[in-house]
Chain A
Amino acid sequence: MKKELILSTSPFLHDSATTPWIMFQVIYALIPIIAAAAYFFGMSALLLIAVTVLACLVTERIFTAAKQEEPSSLKDGSAVLTGILLALTLPPGFPLWMAFLGGLAAIGMGKMIWGGLGQNIFNPALLGRAFLQSSFPTAITTWSVPDGQFFSFRGTNLALPFFQGESLDSATSATPLALMKFQQEGTEWFKLLMGNTSGSLGETSAALLLLVGVYLGMRRVFDWRIPVSIILTVTVLSSIFYVINAERFPSPDFMLLSGGLLLGAIFMATDPVTSPYTPKGVWYFGFGIGFLVVLIRLFGGLPEGVMYAVLLMNSVTPLLNKLTRKRVYGHLKNG
């Protein structure tokens, strides 16, 4: 063995989970959700996803080129994931050009200006959505009815850039949450479970979201404690309000199954970058999101509060990490 070899130091074994593996596991898990979106909202759903993914990839590529880095961060799957997640929070009839801008904002403002993967404070997909919410408040709250027609465009998908566009002749309707908030009108829970309601692309089918969430948790792709603590908090708090006044407040099962709660709890709040990494911190993080969701939905001006709840808790993640540090082994209080 005269040949000189490169020596590395231990360990020589590694766990099989890598960062791209984690990203792609989530992407694969999203396929059934995407399929359901395509089933309910047809081509519009697929087009929106394609546009946001493209926008995210282009933005990531531009920033990595500007930083003169290897374009390797395109291959880690995180930009694709952000794109899909952003699209899943949009209404089916959303103009494609606006969706493209959302993708730009998500990766550009949500991730790259912080320094790229792992450096951002806010969930990029939700930051992109917050950008769209404040820029295009009408378009983002115009909901098409799921009609099972694949080859028809919803709403204002094809609006020209810088125009709101005229709605193509498909019906719109309020989401279950808006119905509840403004008309005190409930929606059958079986409908909520299956997803045959109006809403964002990825939020309508609660049953599918739950199944996928359990799968990802069991494969240890994400921290199961985050969705569990969010769901627990929302259940407990909304039960209390429901018991106090069943006329005014929705039932806990409605709170859990409607809107973006499951989508947010399973796919947004579990983003490792923007959630705490201490075992205790993730519980507080989930409690905080659940509390804010209930607060915004029941007492705020908006029908939905998951996005702001997650973003607000993102901002206290560093603090939670600091406050919930584990005592180092052997550093005993009385010693």
Chain B
Amino acid sequence: MLLTFTNGVHPQEFKSWTNNSPVERLPFFADYVIPLSQHIGAPSKSLVRKGQYVARGEKIAEPGAYVSVAYHSPVDGVVSAVELAEHPGGKMVPSIKIKADPFSSQRLEKKPIDWKSLTKKEFADHLQNSGMVGLGGAAFPSHVKFAVPDDKKCDYLIINGCECEPFLTADHRVMAEYPLEVMRGIEMLQYFLTPKKTFIGIEANKKDAINILQLEANKHPELAVEIVSLEVKYPQGAEKMLISAILTNEVPSGTIPLDGGYLVSNVGTVAAIAEYFDSGKPLIERVVTVSGSNIKRPANLLVPIGTSMQELLNACGGFKSSDFGDSARILLGGPMMGMAQKSLDVPVVKGTSGVLALGVLEVPGRNTFQCIRCGRCLEACPMFLNPSTLGLLAKKGLYEEMLEENLMDCMECASCSYVCPSGIPLVQSFRVAKAVNRERKVA
């Protein structure tokens, strides 16, 4: 029996298009845009002026506050502007635009860091200055995540290799192709966090990754890493669900996992941390899955942060059909929690795990019917909420009453909307309700 959590859904996986495609390095293009708020937290401050020459990996922005990270140039080139530019989130944010130097070889010199001589504080500073954020999608600054306060203790280090979103295979390829980096990253985290136990949780549909990591783990018995096969079920990769699956414990409402001694980190982040300390390369590129039935050549690509979405899609042969109908089918991230894009003039950012161009195949039009109280949403919700009742309250605008139905425990995984046979936009209305309640609280 594979381990898993209670409830959840089984969307079609669509992973076979890219799960055996090795990571390819995307060539360098002429223009890059680095938004200064790709992470959760305060925007970063630019350190460069227009016309200034910057080297690949050079720091171009510094953290704007504690919860904020540095940014680095993805290429050797010249700063062409520091101005507002469109962010994939839809907002205009301060960004640094860089024109790549066409004559540069874009080589990066290896400068390993002697991490064993660092204190905890220095380790965190290094993470912040390397621009490290969680690569699973939320882009939470790593130095904050791994800074365990004195009154707390990381007992269980859980590396998240679930990648439960359909289509996405970036983490899968990282595990299959960079097992050494994953183990090195775990070694570093163990050194600073001293957990009692370390797990890597992987959904059972990534057999090759499980085997490769197990072989690598066998070579490092001193790390005592346990590879855990998990049932293929969405949202297995959600932090709380992963903890429940592996340790059968719930994370109490209103607390963070670290309060219970758990620390969960995405596997790609762990590999990126190892790469930084072993070669000195800051977070200037990441693996991105480009997929969907409207993409000519789906692939996993190593993409410099700041690459234009248009260039990325061109590198994959572009769209099969340019007829999108009337709705946007270009997504950043997975189809369950990702974000639709209205423009391709946005850059790949640190949190971009995938770019999907969906066809009508995957996104058929849906009619909305009245709730028939079938209870499918109750058996889908991994938080054991009652989406049916929440949906009826949301429809009536009774947002405050929704708080009594534990609205704030919803993590917006969208399982309820996925299963609803009446096509009711449940999670969509919960997002609105949460935002309204947060605003009312402030006001």
What per-residue 1/0 map shows which CB atoms of B252-296 lie under 8 Å from chain A?
A: 111100000000000000000000000000000000000000000
Which of the candidate stretches B22-30, B93-101, B187-195, B420-428 sits at the interface with the other chain? B420-428
Bound state CA distance, A331 and B404, in angstroms? 13
Which of the candidate stretches B35-43, B170-178, B224-232, B326-334 sits at the interface with the other chain? B326-334
Bound state CA distance, A254 and B386, in angstroms? 40
Q: Which of A5, A279, A330 contacts B409 (CB 8 A)?
A: A330
For B335, what are the chain A residues with a Cβ–Cβ distance below 8 Å? 10-13
For B326, what are the chain A residues with a Cβ–Cβ distance below 8 Å? 5-6
A76: interface (CB < 8 Å): yes
Bound state CA distance, A76 and B376, in angstroms? 18
Known A5-B324, A118-B371: A10·B252 in contact at CB below 8 Å: no
Bound state CA distance, A279 and B336, in angstroms? 25
Bound state CA distance, A19 and B406, in angstroms? 27
Q: Which of B253, B329, B338, B366 contacts A14 (CB 8 A)?
A: B366
For A73, what are the chain B residues with a Cβ–Cβ distance below 8 Å? 369-370
**Interface size band for B:** 35 or more
Bound state CA distance, A72 and B336, in angstroms? 28
A134: interface (CB < 8 Å): no
Task: Please give the distance in Å from B91's CB to the nearest CB on chain A.
Answer: 14
B146: interface (CB < 8 Å): no
Contact in complex: A325, B428 (CB < 8 Å): no
Contact in complex: B240, A329 (CB < 8 Å): yes
Known A20-B369, A277-B375, A329-B250: A12·B421 in contact at CB below 8 Å: no
For B409, what are the chain A residues with a Cβ–Cβ distance below 8 Å? 328-331
Task: Please give the distance in Å from B233's CB to the nearest CB on chain A.
Answer: 14
Contact in complex: B423, A14 (CB < 8 Å): yes
Known A12-B363, A330-B409, A332-B252: A7·B9 in contact at CB below 8 Å: no
A67: interface (CB < 8 Å): no
Closest to A334 in B: B252
For B244, what are the chain A residues with a Cβ–Cβ distance below 8 Å? 329
A252: interface (CB < 8 Å): no
Bound state CA distance, A6 and B340, in angstroms? 9
Task: Please give the distance in Å from B365's CB to the nearest CB on chain A.
Answer: 10
Known A7-B342, A21-B421: A116·B336 in contact at CB below 8 Å: no
Q: Which of B362, B382, B420 contacts A12 (CB 8 A)?
A: B362
Contact in complex: B372, A6 (CB < 8 Å): no
Which of the candidate stretches B74-82, B120-128, B411-419 sits at the interface with the other chain? B411-419
For A76, what are the chain B residues with a Cβ–Cβ distance below 8 Å? 369
Closest to B339 in A: A10
Q: Which of A12, A277, A279, A329 contacts B338 (CB 8 A)?
A: A12
A335: interface (CB < 8 Å): yes
B160: interface (CB < 8 Å): no
Task: Please give the distance in Å from B133's CB to the nearest CB on chain A.
Answer: 21
Known A9-B340, A11-B418: A277·B388 in contact at CB below 8 Å: yes
Q: Which of B253, B382, B421 contacts A18 (CB 8 A)?
A: B421
Contact in complex: B375, A223 (CB < 8 Å): yes
Closest to A272 in B: B374
Label chain A's interface by main secondary structure. loop
Label chain B's interface by main secondary structure. loop
Bound state CA distance, A18 and B358, in angstroms? 21
Task: Please give the distance in Å from B236's CB to the nearest CB on chain A.
Answer: 14
A169: interface (CB < 8 Å): no
Closest to A15 in B: B419
A188: interface (CB < 8 Å): no
Contact in complex: A10, B324 (CB < 8 Å): no
For B339, what are the chain A residues with a Cβ–Cβ distance below 8 Å? 9-10
Known A5-B328, A20-B369: A13·B378 in contact at CB below 8 Å: no
Bound state CA distance, A272 and B431, in angstroms? 27
Interface residues of A in 185-233 (CB under 8 A from B): 223
Closest to A17 in B: B421
B385: interface (CB < 8 Å): yes
Task: Please give the distance in Å from B360's CB to the nearest CB on chain A.
Answer: 12
Closest to A22 in B: B421
B12: interface (CB < 8 Å): yes
For A335, what are the chain B residues with a Cβ–Cβ distance below 8 Å? 252
Contact in complex: A329, B378 (CB < 8 Å): no
For A72, what are the chain B residues with a Cβ–Cβ distance below 8 Å? 367, 369
For B252, what are the chain A residues with a Cβ–Cβ distance below 8 Å? 330-332, 335
Contact in complex: A1, B369 (CB < 8 Å): no
Contact in complex: A11, B379 (CB < 8 Å): no
Closest to B366 in A: A14
What per-residue 1/0 map shows which CB atoms of B46-79 lie under 8 Å from chain A?
A: 0000000000000000000000000000000000
B435: interface (CB < 8 Å): no
For A68, what are the chain B residues with a Cβ–Cβ distance below 8 Å? none
Interface residues of A in 2-57 (CB under 8 A from B): 3-15, 17-22
Known A12-B335, A18-B423, A332-B250: A1·B373 in contact at CB below 8 Å: no
A273: interface (CB < 8 Å): yes
Task: Please give the distance in Å from B136's CB to the nearest CB on chain A.
Answer: 15
Contact in complex: A11, B370 (CB < 8 Å): no
Known A117-B372, A330-B409; further 12 A-B contacts with Cβ < 8 A: A5-B326, A7-B327, A13-B335, A18-B422, A18-B423, A19-B372, A72-B369, A73-B370, A118-B422, A326-B384, A329-B250, A329-B383
- Interchain Cβ contacts under 8 Å between A and B, 27 examples: A6-B327, A8-B328, A9-B428, A10-B333, A10-B339, A11-B337, A12-B362, A13-B362, A14-B423, A15-B11, A15-B418, A15-B419, A17-B419, A18-B423, A19-B372, A19-B421, A22-B421, A73-B369, A117-B369, A223-B375, A273-B373, A277-B378, A325-B386, A327-B384, A329-B382, A330-B240, A332-B252
Q: Which 7 A-B pairs rank lowest in CB-CB distance, beginning with the nearest?
A: A277-B375, A330-B253, A272-B374, A11-B414, A5-B328, A118-B370, A12-B335
